[in-house]
Structure 1
Amino acid sequence: MIELAGLTKRYGEKVAVNNLTFAVRPGMVTGFLGPNGAGKSTTMRMILGLDRPTAGDVRVDGRPYDRLKDPLKSIGALLEARAVHGGRSAYHHLLCLAQSNGIPKRRVHEVLDTVGLTAVARKKARSFSLGMSQRLGIAAALLGDPRILMFDEPVNGLDPEGIHWIRTLMKSLAAQGRTVFVSSHLMSEMALTADHLVVIGQGRLLADTSMAGFIEQNSRSCVRIRTPQPERLLDVLHAAGITAVATGTGAFEVDGGKPEHIGELAARHQVVLHELSPRQASLEEAFMRLTAESVEYHAHTGTPPAAQRWGDGGGRS
């Protein structure tokens, strides 16, 4: 388990992490989400003792990281895939880690096989693609057979097969009762992988809940209806106190309605339905809604103002 209590990190006047308190529990994949600049990487670095907190406390299996007797056997982490000496082969990089941490040599071969790098084990790390570097970083995290795994953007550079593999690996590690903590910007992938979510914005905790609970609490649900008898449908719904809104595509939506109730009403009044489907927002939509006020960098669509002035003949400003 990873436990944070009032964890805070300041860099001069900037507060990167602000009084974070949460626990990452075993037996599930916990997703760590937040906009760019939210403080995710800083939080992970403090968990590993790479940055010292300004205030608060963080413990790994009940102890600060620097007091763990065998750190790699307690927690394995992937923070930066390229943080490998380019002149070393994958095999010798892992062997060095194993020998310096009292890990049997056989584990090097085992983790190389697990991540699919056995065939290139003797190649220099500098020749690796980003995806291969990610696999090597994951191998290093697994080397000590730790109870806790922490991954920062583990799918970067991986092809579809690799993404499916790391998703399956993380789920299997959690199923073994291990603690799995993963940060990612790929919402579609996180929706398929995580059981629980911790969301931060501008260094503050915004949510600590199950995946299903997060989407339910931060999104709009509705029932979508399509019929060749729109006026009759609207009359029936109105009489039942239900408001339907036209979508502009020939369908209607009812916020918070139950499809069973609407279907029964339509059947009772002999209204033909071509579609009756519940709609739930995606993880991405729920995340965007929750973090809208916490985004540090806002991009804008359309032509930049300066370009518009130039095109309108306004000249240089």
Structure 2
Amino acid sequence: MIELEGLTKHYGDVRAVDHLTFTVRPGIITGFLGPNGAGKSTTMRMMLDLDNPTSGTVRIDGRHYRELRDPLRAVGALLDAKAMHGGRSAYHHLLCLAQSNGIAPARVREVLDTVGLTSVAKKRTKGFSLGMGQRLGIAAALLGDPRILMFDEPVNGLDPEGIHWIRNLMKGLAAQGRTVFVSSHLMSEMALTADHLIVIGRGRLMADMSMSDFISENSRSYVRMRSPDAERLRDVLHGAGIDVAPGADGALEVTGEDAAHLGELAARHRIVLHELSPQQASLEEAFMRLTAGSVEYHAHENHQRSAAGAKAPAGAWGADWRKKGS
């Protein structure tokens, strides 16, 4: 279990993390989300005593990270896949870590096999691709068979097979009762992986809830109905006291009603339905809605051309990064 209480970090006049309080519990995968500059990396570094908080505390199973005698046996972390000596082989990189924490050398070969790097165990890491480096970083996190796992962008550089593998690995670790804390910008992947979400914006806690609750509370859910007799369907719904909004393709959108109830209502009035589908926002849409006011930088595209059809001036196309409010 990881417990944060009032965690705060200042860099000069900038408050990167602002009184964060939350608990990461065992047995589930907890996703850590936030826009760029929200303070995620700083928070994770303070969890591992790589940065000192201005105020507040972080406890790993009731103790500060620096108080752990053999930290790799308690916490395994992947924060930077490039954090390795390029002149060392994958095997010796892990062996050095194992020896520093009293871990048997046999465990090195076990984790290399787990992450699929046995065939390149003797190769120098400076020749590794991004995905191979990512797998080696995951191997280092698993080395001490820890109770707590922390991953920052774990699928970065992995191919589809690798993404499927790390997803199942994290689910398996959580099923064993371990604490799994993962940060990622890939919303589609997080939606398939995380059970619980911690969302921060500008260093402040914005959400601490289950995945399903987060999506339902930060999105509009409705039932989409489409019929060749749309006018009569609308009249029937209005007659039943049900509010209806027009949708795309001539469909009707109904909020606050169960799809089965709506289908039965249409059937009683012998109205043919071509579509009856519950609609709910994706994790990405819910996240964008919640954090819209906390985004540090916005991209703007200028697609304007002169009335004469002249090309846009240099710099008018593409991303123009501006700080929000500047």
* Same-fold status (TM-score > 0.5): yes
Displacement after TM superposition at 1:245 (Å): 2.1
Q: How does 1:1-317 map to 2 (within 5 A)?
A: 1-303=1-303
Q: Label 1:269 to 1:150 Cα distance change in 2 as closer, same or farther (>3 A).
A: same
Structure 1 pair 34–315 and aligned structure 2 pair: CA distance change class (3 A): closer
Deviates more, 1:115-124 or 1:250-259: 250-259
Residue type of the partner of 2:36? N
Q: Could you tell me how far apart the structure 2 residues matched to 1:310 and 1:69 are?
A: 72
Contact 1:90 1:122 (C-alpha < 8 Å) held by counterparts? yes
Q: Equivalents in 2 of 1:313, 1:190: separation in Å?
A: 41
- Provide the secondary structure at the position in 2 that maps to 1:132: helix
The alignment of Structure 1 onto Structure 2 pairs a total of residues equal to: 315
Q: Unaligned stretches of 5+ in structure 1?
A: none
CA contact under 8 A between 1:31 and 1:190: conserved in structure 2?
yes
Task: Indicate if the aligned counterparts of 1:309 and 1:315 stay in contact, CA closer than 8 A.
Answer: no
Distance 1:83 1:249 in 2: 52
Name the SS for the 2:300 alignment partner.
coil
Provide closer, same or farther for how the CA distance between residues 301 and 237 of structure 1 changes in structure 2, counting only shifts above 3 A.
Answer: farther
Q: What is the CA RMSD across the aligned residues, in angstroms?
A: 1.8
Please list every run of 5 or more consecutive structure 2 residues that lacks an aligned counterpart in the other structure.
316-326
Amino acid at match of 1:253: E
Distance apart, 1:310 and its partner CA: 11
- Give the letter for the 1:243 counterpart: D
TM-score of the aligned structures, taking structure 1 as reference length:
0.96
- Any idea what the Cα deviations from partners look like across 1:257-286, whole Å, max 9, x if unmatched? 211221121111111111111111111111
Deviations 1:175-217 (A, max 9, x none): 0000000000011111111111000000000000011111111
Q: Secondary structure at the match of 1:123?
A: coil
TM-score under structure 2 length normalisation: 0.93
Large movers: runs of 4+ above 3 Å: 307-317
1:22-45 Cα distance to aligned partner (Å, 9 max, x none): 000100100000000000000000
Do 1:310 and 1:316's aligned partners in 2 also have CA atoms closer than 8 Å?
A: no
Q: Write the distance in 1 (CA, Å) between the matches of 2:208 and 2:139.
A: 29
**What amino acid is the match of 2:272?**
V
- 1:316 Cα offset (Å): 8.6
Give me the whole-angstrom Cα distance separating, in 1, the residues matched to 2:57 and 2:50: 14
